[in-house]
Structure 1
Amino acid sequence: MKILFIHQNFPGQFKHLAPALVERGHEVVSLTLRVKEPGTWKGVRLVPYELKRAPSKGLHPWLVDFETKLLRAESCFAAARKLRDGGFTPDVIVAHPGWGEPMFLRDLWPTARIGLYCELYYTNRDTDVGFDPEFPKAEKETDAIRLRLKNLNNTMHRDVADMGISPTQFQAATYPEEWQDIISVIHDGIDTNVVKPNPEATFELPDGRVLSRDDEVVTFVNRNLEPYRGYHVFMRALPRLLKERPNAQVLIVGGDEVSYGAAPPKGQTWKQIFIDEVRGRIPTPDWERVHFLGKVPYGNFLSMLQITRAHVYLTYPFVLSWSLIEAMSIGAPIVASDTAPLQEVITDEETGLLFPFFDGERMVAQISRVLDDAALRDQMGASARALAIEGYDLESRCLPRQLAWIDELFAKTPGPIKV
């Protein structure tokens, strides 16, 4: 079988699936913006493409988002045409459509079966839109219009999709009815044999101090520190947490950029905005127990989770972070926001403790509860790991299901070109 992966930052969500298909003996190729020169990665032939033109100036703001996706689709189409003219015809195309790239590939390869990674459909029903009243949209009355236009990309891709794959029930449920019959819910998978408890783990702070499971460690992780993942709620609760827990060491992981949602005011970062908001209420000796670690190597990240006594995770009703399932796999005691994506994996007092997203006082109370109760920590950590193994283990569950999904996709009759 010849399989083509499309992802602007390959391998992305396909980091396990693509090499597994190589091991099966399939010819696997990826079109990606991530590399500048052709090469290979774990047996996958990497074919770079580059953007052909810059975005238009003076375009109507409601069309800017779609134009960026159209430009990528055009550029990906041009690179794919070179592949075709060089003799490559895929049996299966697996693509993340979020940046627009696979939009026109049905026209190029009408016999290919196309499977799409369905990460999120934009809707104002029970999702991130309008969830946080502190950050309202400038034009609330036009939200529905803006989202419909943002979904032009999803609409165009429904016409080329033979099957879809989504990592969680919450994410799959954001898609409208016409998508539901083609989406399979299969998580990307966690290697629970690597991401596991380690009673002997230690974590070295930037100043050289070494923490272990003997220390009262509280952890908070974002890819980037921003409101979508509850950074503002956590920071505003920090003065109370530090006062009530005089021995706690608070480890905060995350960058200064923006992964989701609105950018901060020009020249500022969300990280510093909320540091400035709370710093005056935190005595210096307490502040010295707060450690901003930036982005850390993966091994250090795992060590940190292996020593934590309370791992705090918040999110808007949005895409669930890999880091949450990784924390569960490690058996970390979790304190999490009671939002829809979490309800899929965290059962209160079983696999973690829940609190209302905006209730910082309740969050601190739940953190204190888990810090004070070793038996509860052990019980919740064991239950969380058991759930991670049962539902999200890479080798025994997720990867076999992904491979079966590929086989099912290959057996499909390709859909028609719609004009």
Structure 2
Amino acid sequence: MRILFIHQNCPGQYKHLVMHLKQDPKNDIVFISKPNGNTITGIRRIDYKPHREANPQTHHYLTSAENGVLHGQAVARVLIALKEKGWKPDIICAHPGWGEALFVKDVYPDVPLLGFFEFFYHAEGADCGFDPMYPNTMDDFFRLRLKNTVNLLSLEACDWGMSPTFWQREVHPTAYQQKISVIHDGVDTATLVPKDDVRVTLPSGVTLSRDDEVVTYVSRNLEPYRGFHVYMKALEEMCRRRPKAHFLVVGGDEVSYGRRLSDGRTYREELLKEVKIDPARVHFLGRIPYSSFVKVLQLSSAHVYLTYPFVLSWSMLEAMSAGCLIIGSSTRPVMEAVEDGKNGLLVDFFSPTGVADAVDRVLDHPDRMAELRRAARQTIVDRYDLASICLPAQLGLIDTLVAGKTPALDLAAGKSPALTAS
């Protein structure tokens, strides 16, 4: 089979799928991406670069649309060159968020296009307007409506779509939800396992084990969208209450989502001025290798995950697989996987005291809520396991589309969609 992947940050959400497909020598895989240094042996990678940036004079409501066009044009040039050389894929898998898939069907009109639909913006009911600490203006609402231009064109053009969670599908327009299957990228539950004898030596020289009180927090970047401002206020209280606990904070100082601070400071710099913490016990680890990340999860006594109503982080599900006790915000993305008192604890996103109280409940519990930890891992094994659930579902969806058939949806909550061809 000839499979074409398009994602500006190769491999992105296609990591596990590409690694599986490349094991079959009969598969001819091409990956179109922007330069990022990631390489996968066994596939042909073609990098592209938009020929210019968006014009600074463009109305700011339309900047994302212009950027989308520029990315789409650059990818189209690569596709045209492939087509002229006689290469035609059997299926194209693309993340449309940056406009890369805008013109795919113009170059290959008879090739099925499977889009990865991660999020659709709303002026209310999702991330925008959620946090009163960072209020939105009417100008933001107007800009968001136009920001969906690329998403809408991509929804219309694709033959089928995938979303990783039911909530993420639900934020897309109702008219298109019936051609979006809910299939998560998958969690490698064979790698992300509990490990009682794990030990971690921190850059400070401190060595921690499961006998220690260790509270973990993970985010790609330390920013409000992942509740970092709430966590820092909770951290001040937790440092006061738990004199023996260590707090491991994983994440960079950039901004993945939302606004940057106007003066160029990071959110960590800003918040450290507002709270009093014990620097000997609060360890900001930055971005760390994946193997170190796994050990941090295995070490965790309590894992705090807070998020706006937005894209659900891989890290929360990976933490559950590793047997972490999740203290999660009671926001829709989290509540799809975590049930309060059954496989984790839910707290009000805006309550630092609620976070600290929940951490106390876990650390004061005789076995640190071992039953909830086991249930958390079982949730991932039953619903998000890469090998037995998600990867077969993705492959089945591809086979169905390549065969020219229409996938069937199973809308039962908590289940992967049925992929029986109609």
Structure 1, unmatched stretches of 5+, are 415-419
Instruction: Name the counterpart of 1:381.
Output: 373
Counterparts of 1:12-411 in structure 2, within 5 Å, are 12-24=12-24, 25-34=26-35, 41-137=40-136, 140-279=137-276, 282=277, 286-411=278-403
Root-mean-square deviation (CA, aligned residues, Å) is: 1.5
Instruction: Name the counterpart of 1:417.
Output: none
Q: What per-residue deviation string (whole Å, max 9, x for no partner) do you get for residues 114-169 of structure 1? A: 000010011134210100011112xx224442222101001111221100001001
Amino acid at match of 2:9: N
The CA distance in 2 between the partners of 1:364 and 1:376, in whole Å, is 15
SS in 2 for 1:214: coil
Amino acid at match of 1:243: R
The CA distance in 1 between the partners of 2:366 and 2:306, in whole Å, is 23
Aligned residues with identical type, % of pairs: 44
The CA distance in 1 between the partners of 2:56 and 2:405, in whole Å, is 42
How far does residue 35 in structure 1 lie from its aligned partner after superposition? 5.3
The CA distance in 1 between the partners of 2:366 and 2:287, in whole Å, is 29
Q: What per-residue deviation string (whole Å, max 9, x for no partner) do you get for residues 348-380 of structure 1? A: 011111110001111110110001113352111
SS in 2 for 1:4: strand
How far does residue 51 in structure 1 lie from its aligned partner after superposition? 1.6
How far does residue 23 in structure 1 lie from its aligned partner after superposition? 2.7
The CA distance in 1 between the partners of 2:360 and 2:102, in whole Å, is 50
How far does residue 57 in structure 1 lie from its aligned partner after superposition? 2.5
| Contact 1:6/1:101, CA 8 A, preserved across alignment | yes
Amino acid at match of 2:185: D
Give the TM-score taking structure 1 as reference length.
Answer: 0.94
Instruction: Name the counterpart of 2:420.
Output: none
The CA distance in 2 between the partners of 1:198 and 1:330, in whole Å, is 8
Amino acid at match of 2:236: P
The CA distance in 1 between the partners of 2:348 and 2:236, in whole Å, is 19
How far does residue 230 in structure 1 lie from its aligned partner after superposition? 0.4
Amino acid at match of 2:324: A
Amino acid at match of 1:60: H
The CA distance in 1 between the partners of 2:272 and 2:372, in whole Å, is 31
How far does residue 266 in structure 1 lie from its aligned partner after superposition? 2.5
Q: What per-residue deviation string (whole Å, max 9, x for no partner) do you get for residues 194-251 of structure 1? A: 1101111011111212100010100111110000000000101222111111111011
SS in 1 for 2:218: strand
The CA distance in 2 between the partners of 1:63 and 1:353, in whole Å, is 41
SS in 1 for 2:367: helix
Structure 2, unmatched stretches of 5+, are 407-422
| Contact 1:3/1:92, CA 8 A, preserved across alignment | yes
| Contact 1:91/1:111, CA 8 A, preserved across alignment | no
The CA distance in 2 between the partners of 1:18 and 1:343, in whole Å, is 29
SS in 2 for 1:346: coil
The CA distance in 2 between the partners of 1:230 and 1:119, in whole Å, is 20
Amino acid at match of 2:6: I
How far does residue 253 in structure 1 lie from its aligned partner after superposition? 0.7
Give the TM-score taking structure 2 as reference length.
Answer: 0.93
Residues 278/389 of structure 1: CA separation in 2 closer, same or farther (3 Å cut): same
Q: What per-residue deviation string (whole Å, max 9, x for no partner) do you get for residues 370-399 of structure 1? A: 011133521111000001111111101110
The CA distance in 2 between the partners of 1:176 and 1:146, in whole Å, is 18
The CA distance in 1 between the partners of 2:366 and 2:89, in whole Å, is 54
The CA distance in 2 between the partners of 1:32 and 1:142, in whole Å, is 32
Amino acid at match of 1:44: I
The CA distance in 2 between the partners of 1:262 and 1:412, in whole Å, is 43
The CA distance in 2 between the partners of 1:265 and 1:249, in whole Å, is 32
SS in 1 for 2:401: helix
| Contact 2:126/2:308, CA 8 A, preserved across alignment | yes
The CA distance in 2 between the partners of 1:289 and 1:393, in whole Å, is 34
How far does residue 95 in structure 1 lie from its aligned partner after superposition? 0.0
How far does residue 413 in structure 1 lie from its aligned partner after superposition? 6.7
Deviates most, 1-10 or 48-57? 48-57
Amino acid at match of 2:321: S
SS in 2 for 1:102: coil
SS in 2 for 1:335: strand
| Contact 2:301/2:368, CA 8 A, preserved across alignment | no
Number of equivalenced pairs:
405
